[in-house]
Amino acid sequence: MELRDIRNRLGTAVLAGGTALVLASCTLPVRFATPEEVQQATNPTPVTVGGGGSAPAPAPGGLDQIQADLRRLISQVGPSVVRIDIGTASGSGLLLDSIGTVVTPASLVAGSQQVSITTSSGQKYTGFVAGADTNSDVALVRVSGATGLTPAPFGDSTGVQLGDVVVSIGSKSVSQGIVSQIASGLIVTTAPAGSEGSGSALVNIAGQVIGMTTLGSQGALGVAIPSNQVNTVAQQLLKGGSPTPSGKAFLGVTLTDATGGGAQVQSVVAGGPAATAGIQSGWTILAIGGHSVSNAAAVAPILATYAPGQRVAVTVRLPNGSTRSIQVLLGSG
């Protein structure tokens, strides 16, 4: 039997039952409603729910709690994030101490000796690049005459796991997401890079900085250098030394995503493998050793399959649209 037939028969049965009930009631004495009953029927007394006339207070948790937590994180870490201006470019940096020692991506300050620093409260300082390690993309900037600044609350990045909720806090923007991947020693998140895109604090829900964002963004994704690596390199630079080579293959370039695919070379390390081979900034890397390069983040996993001292063919596209294959002797990063 179809559902429509069932509904029709059920409606007929209800109608018949209702008619019988009405006819049966007509055999009983009929009582008319009193004026009070008519008044109550036409103007019923309002019924309150829960014993009161006001809406119940929102339960703990939910969106109110999430918003409160986000505001807490921003107010806790925001004073430790500074703005860095280099000519027409800008980014962020993280305070290591109260006197203005700042850690920032080396790719952001590449080629610069002097930068402008602005704190979250609007204080402006002149900063000087005190050291940089292009392999790890970590640099130090120092200012003079600063006191009472708020150091960033760094945490242990070894505890970062896939799915962890994170907030990216820059000098001009904030975004939220989760850890989507941990690849080639970098933390990839769904928290998109802000307008400055580099040097923001990647913060966990405990309010600890577990990474520093870098230029290796992948569209809507963000890429961050783990905090432990940031601190280790920063301490070595503070002592005037250079980080110990990792033994990994090193190309000697800083990269960003290229329009239409590939990794565009932003800067070339002087005397590095790419510079020695003739690769220039503004060129786009399309392949390494026959492995296609879809974006900037694809380069590190490819290089991880090679050893320092190996020669590899790097296919590049020049600004005029032509392509060429260049042999590069990989260094040690």
pLDDT for 133-161, tens place per residue? Answer: 887 889 999 988 888 999 999 999 988 99
Mean pLDDT of 317-328: 95
Q: What is the pLDDT of residue 37?
A: 53
DSSP 3-state of 310? coil
Residues with Cβ within 8 Å of 262's Cβ and at least 6 positions away in sequence, in order, are 284, 285, 286, 293, 294, 295, 317
Q: What is the pLDDT of residue 267?
A: 76
Give, rounded to a whole angstrom, the gap between the first and last alpha carbons of the chain.
76
Q: What is the pLDDT of residue 2?
A: 40
Q: What is the pLDDT of residue 247?
A: 66
**310, pLDDT greater than 60:** yes
**4, pLDDT greater than 60:** no
**93, pLDDT greater than 80:** yes
Q: What is the pLDDT of residue 56?
A: 52
Mean pLDDT of 22-28: 39
Phi-psi region of 262 (alpha: psi -120 to 50; beta: other; left: phi over 0): left
Residues with Cβ within 8 Å of 69's Cβ and at least 6 positions away in sequence, in order, are 205
DSSP 3-state of 50? coil
Nearest to 151 by CA among 185, 105, 200, 100: 100
Percent of the chain with pLDDT over 90: 39
Count CB atoms within 10 A of the CB of residue 304: 13
Q: Which residue in the block uniquely carries the two structure tokens 């409160």?
A: 68
Count CB atoms within 10 A of the CB of residue 82: 27
**281, pLDDT greater than 80:** yes
**Please, where are the H alpha helices in 43-101?**
62-77
Question: Which stretch of DSSP H or E encloses residue 299?
Answer: helix 299-303
Mean pLDDT of 205-227: 80
Torsion sign over Cα 51, 52, 53, 55: negative
**50, pLDDT greater than 60:** no
Contact (Cβ atoms closer than 8 angstroms) between residue 254 and residue 267: yes
Confidence band (pLDDT; 50, 70, 90) for 16? very low
**Residue pLDDT, tens place only, 218-250:** 455 788 999 999 998 898 888 776 665 666 788
Contact (Cβ atoms closer than 8 angstroms) between residue 171 and residue 134: no
Mean pLDDT of 89-113: 91
Contact (Cβ atoms closer than 8 angstroms) between residue 181 and residue 165: no
